[in-house]
Structure 1
Amino acid sequence: MSQPAQTGILPCQSIEALIEQGAIASATPWDADQVQPASLDLRLGRRAWRVRASFLPGAHRVEDRVRDVAMHQIDLSGGAVLEKGCVYIAELQEGLRLPSGVQARANPKSSTGRVDVFVRLLTDHGGRFDDVAEGYSGPLYLEIAPQTFSVLVRPGTRLNQLRLKAGEPPVLETRDVGVDLTGDIVGFRGRRHAGVVDLDHVDGHDPRDFWEPLTARRGELLLDPGEFYILASKEAVEIPVDQAAEMTPIDPSVGEFRVHYAGFFDPGFGTAEAGAVGSRGVLEVRSHETPFLLEDGQTVARLVYQPLITRPARLYGEGGSHYQRQGLKLSKHFRPWG
């Protein structure tokens, strides 16, 4: 099986070539929009398990390890509610038979992070969450832990995405990301006792039932421990057409909070070529053990830029996107505020 000659992130046409070669397989026909400019959306399968503890497979297969911690099995075929505060393992429809020299990394989709559903990819014999070893051959599973809202899922629901890499791409640049606390509404805080979010129902929920709008005083916002916030970046975010980026948490010494569960930015996000100058990054923020006072412009995350092996055949947002040209914005599941 052929492998890329360069070092870098694989664009959509390379992902499609791997699908044609059988290096990426699916239990069902592929969705037309499943391959993104520099990533692949992954879909839930039919089976999931409520588990009493998270785990790493280590020397084991995931399904063998699930037997040790499973409380009960869930059939997702007719739709199933995953309760907040619980941990689940679900099989994915996609599997891998990667060629030598190709590895992968997973991240939650932006819509998943914005409803505070914590997800991590698992592979057989894997020693790390979300990282897929070079040449891995086997099934894929997803750990799912809703934090603020219970969610309704079914086979085909897309909660995470896979970025494939040839070798170990170099870091081209890192940029600090500050938080914007100006404007009439500076963010939203999730309501603890809201209803269920159907993760396949776009524009299907009244945001007032799930979110509390926030204002800042003197350019400051107090984060309460254990609460979940949606904020926006101070700076416009632009991803060059021959690069991709991942937003990573800041060093813990900068502040006691976690930022951005969903970290992938595809090539073309926020660019003039894709018609999206001025797009902001949306920040998913959770404070830890102590209250924390954020100031306008304060650094809360970092963008890490890496090269693609070649320009992608299509750019982010060219076929339409919920998040291109965005400012402060809730996930696609909610109607516009007001």
Structure 2
Amino acid sequence: MAASSSFERAQRLPWDFAWIVVAIDAALFIVNMTVQLLPSSPHSEQMRSVYAQPGVWVPLLSRVATVWLLAATLAWCHARKALDERGAARIAQLRSPGSRFAAVFLPTMVVNALALTPLFYQAQVLFMPGGSLHETVDMYGLRSIMAVSMLVQSVIQMMVLVAGVWLAARFALRERGMVIEDETPAAAASTRRAVALVIAAIFVSLQMWIGNVASGWVDTSRDADLLPLLLGWFAVPLLVYGLAFWGAWLGAAPAPVQARPFRAVAAAATAFAVLQAVCIALAVGGLVWVASVSFLGRSSDGNLLMLAIAMAAVYLVLLVVLVRVITRRFYRRYL
């Protein structure tokens, strides 16, 4: 009975890591928001009025969801990789892997939230009205600086997040000083589903991350209605997730021997990069066509609308096709 229980705990370890990541990130987010919105906090009334606007809290929740999804997926991948390579019996001998994972991941995220975020904020304040460098830039320059700052902050904090998950998983899964039983690693169940889930999660995480970064370059109104914001920030990513899962499911058929989760991560990143490159090229070609038509004296408004609709349709179709093809290529030798 004890052996069976240990085996089941070992099989659950990938999901345990994922939920630990979500729990830690959620706790830090709640603490941070509570500190900002408490009546005793400085500028709390102003912050509450700002966060009450859908144009603020909807993108904020999207950014939070992106971080949670990416970190949880990577944590799941580390544990699943160890489970596939070592087998459940060896993983079951690890001493409190979940606690050790949390013990490393929590300080990393605390540093990320309490050190890096305020540091970038202080740098941005220098260029805001009243800052020492505000006079050196005009309004357009200020917007560009804020957008670049957001991009740099997003990249650095993503690197810290990825490194934190890797370090925590490495510490939690090490086998130093253990008596290892000989066992041939057995493939875990539902490898095809696991591959599709990882690819879809990484793909939509990258999609949402790019969207959040790009929002810094676009003059979005905080007075926008709630429904369009929810459709843009959540409904569209859910659609992308579903299509990416479908493409990966088709590409991983009939089923790989092992999930090899980081091969799935690489497949998702490759498919995303190729899709963006192809669609950018098509969009540039379409804009050139619209410009050439407008030079002939025809109205370009209808053509721009047609181009936007066509690009959206092409993007969704190519998403499924490219994810399927690239997944098949990455897993061809394991099918």
TM-score, length of structure 2 as denominator length: 0.21
**Which structure would you say has the larger Rg?**
2
TM-score, length of structure 1 as denominator length: 0.21
Structure with greater helix percent: 2
Structure with greater strand percent: 1
